[in-house]
């Protein structure tokens, strides 16, 4: 069973982290182009991907990882602690910042338009915090593959 859980765990990590890398590359390109309408439309798509693709993938990663630890490893391993810490950071960032800020920004876009300065400030903040989260996820991938110990 472990090998199947590992496959699922890795596949969902590819979806989550690879998707986040792609989203960031596109966000950087759009920011450099300085196209507020395109950036707002892209942010809406990124929010959809985050809630419907990244969130379920991260949950599957967590569940598969927990079962793998219970089967073979220990929750005392540093690399497992780092993985759980990265998941916790991502959950908190999504639930208490990215999610609410995305909702607020979506409403502002409807009320004021995508070229509004507050909308553009919010979009910059959203992409900054999602870049920080991506860096955390890359550290988790490093920990999962190198497996440093306590």
CA distances from 13 to 4, 59, 83, 127 (A): 14, 10, 11, 20
User: How would residue 103 be classed by pLDDT, with cut points 50, 70 and 90?
Assistant: confident
Q: Is the pLDDT of residue 99 over 90?
A: no
pLDDT digits (tens, 9 = 90+) for 17-52: 999 999 999 999 998 998 888 988 888 898 899 999
Stronger pLDDT, 99 or 10, i.e. the higher one:
10
Is the Cα torsion angle 14, 71, 80, 96 positive or negative in sign? Answer: positive
pLDDT digits (tens, 9 = 90+) for 48-58: 999 999 999 99
Q: At residue 141, what are phi and psi to the nearest 5 degrees?
A: -60, -40
Domains of the chain, by residue range, sit at: 2-146
Is the Cα torsion angle 108, 114, 116, 121 positive or negative in sign? Answer: positive
Stronger pLDDT, 70 or 47, i.e. the higher one:
70
């Amino acid at each position: 069973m472990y090998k199947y859980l590992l496959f699922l765990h890795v596949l969902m990590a590819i979806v989550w982290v690879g998707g986040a890398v792609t989203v960031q590359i596109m966000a950087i390109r759009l920011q450099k182009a300085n196209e507020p309408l395109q950036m707002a439309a892209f942010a809406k798509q990124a929010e959809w991907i985050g809630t419907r693709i990244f969130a379920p993938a991260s949950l599957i990663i967590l569940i598969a990882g927990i079962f793998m630890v219970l089967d073979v490893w220990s929750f005392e391993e540093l690399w497992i602690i780092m993985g759980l810490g990265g998941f916790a950071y991502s959950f908190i960032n999504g639930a208490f910042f990215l999610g609410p800020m995305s909702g607020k920004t979506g409403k502002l876009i409807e009320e004021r338009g995508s070229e509004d300065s507050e909308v553009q400030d919010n979009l910059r903040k959203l992409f900054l915090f999602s870049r920080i989260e991506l860096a955390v996820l890359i550290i988790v991938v490093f920990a999962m593959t190198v497996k440093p110990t306590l």
